[in-house]
């Protein structure tokens, strides 16, 4: 058998085999040349020495293989531990963000509910006090028998009405709950900003009646109709009266 295969056999099996090498003659014919036993055993010894040198160099070394496996196992364990710690940290940060968002939402909802409950009472009072001063002047005019004091409050009222007529509708966006009720009424008049809260888009894109209707239906009472921009719109007096408590 070829010498390279013979060197892989153990001693008991190699004793029953004859090693050889291939040789080529002048006619380029291959011949098998038998190797003597002493030369074959010398080859086996040199192969053993070469294997020892390889082990010293770290090749085909059992200790190196065990150490490599141990280092790999430790590296995998450290990587797994780091991934688990990172996942736990991410979950903790996510839970903190969710808790903060829920707390902020509850605070906003509480503010909206408090504003909804207190708003009508707080807004109803000014019209009563505003109408009270208007009523006494006429009654006070006859005893004074002078017409000069009477014209004084009227220009103020007219001036106030003229100022109201220039007031455009606006939305207190910080209180908007994104209920979408006003957007359904007129999506060009009421639009969402980057925070998904309503602002006034084009104030001339809708009627004063639509603005008043949106203000009355707003759950957070954050829409302020202002005054009508189109003086020719029908039923303006009734609409002004309905819009008064929201301005």
196 lies in which domain range? 167-247
Q: Among 18, 37, 56, which residue terminates a domain?
A: 56
Would 104 be classed as within a structural domain?
no
- Is 216 within the bounds of a domain? yes
The answer to whether position 218 is within a domain reads yes
- Which of the listed residues 14, 38, 56 is the one where a domain comes to its end? 56
Domains of the chain: total: 2
Give dist(CA 246, CA 225) in Å, integer.
7
Query: How do residues 176-214 score in pLDDT, each as one tens digit?
Result: 999 999 999 999 999 999 999 999 999 988 899 999 999
pLDDT digits (tens, 9 = 90+) for 49-68: 888 888 888 777 777 778 88
Nearest-10 Cα torsion for 211, 214, 216, 221:
-100
Within-domain flag for 135: no
Residue 221, domain CATH? 3.30.70.20
Q: Is 98 part of any domain? A: no
243 in Cβ contact with 221 (< 8 Å): no
**215 within a domain of the structure (yes/no):** yes
- Assess if residue 45 is contained within a domain: yes
In a domain, 183, yes or no: yes
Question: Lowest mean pLDDT: which of 18-22, 136-140, 181-185?
Answer: 136-140
């Amino acid at each position: 058998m070829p010498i390279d295969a013979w060197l892989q056999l153990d001693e008991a099996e190699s004793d029953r085999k004859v090693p050889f090498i291939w040789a080529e003659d002048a006619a380029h014919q291959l011949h098998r040349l038998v190797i003597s036993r002493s030369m074959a055993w010398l080859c086996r010894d040199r192969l053993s020495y070469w294997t020892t040198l390889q082990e010293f160099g770290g090749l085909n070394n059992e200790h190196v293989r065990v150490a490599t496996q141990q280092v790999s196992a430790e590296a995998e364990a450290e990587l797994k531990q780091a991934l688990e710690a990172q996942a736990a940290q991410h979950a903790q940060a996510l839970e903190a963000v969710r808790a903060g968002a829920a707390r902020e939402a509850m605070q906003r909802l509480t503010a909206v509910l408090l504003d909804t409950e207190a708003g009508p009472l707080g807004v109803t009072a000014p019209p009563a006090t505003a109408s009270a001063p208007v009523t006494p002047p006429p009654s006070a005019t006859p005893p004074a028998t002078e017409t000069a004091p009477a014209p004084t409050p009227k220009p103020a009222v007219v001036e106030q009405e003229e100022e109201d007529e220039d007031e455009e509708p606006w939305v207190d966006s910080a209180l908007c709950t994104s209920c979408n009720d006003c957007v359904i009424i007129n999506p060009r008049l009421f639009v969402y900003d980057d925070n998904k809260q309503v602002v006034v888009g084009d104030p001339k894109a809708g009627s004063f009646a639509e603005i008043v209707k949106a203000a009355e239906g707003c759950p957070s009472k954050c829409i302020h109709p202002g005054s009508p921009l189109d003086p020719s719109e029908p039923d303006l007096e009734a609409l002004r009266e309905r819009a008064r408590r929201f301005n």
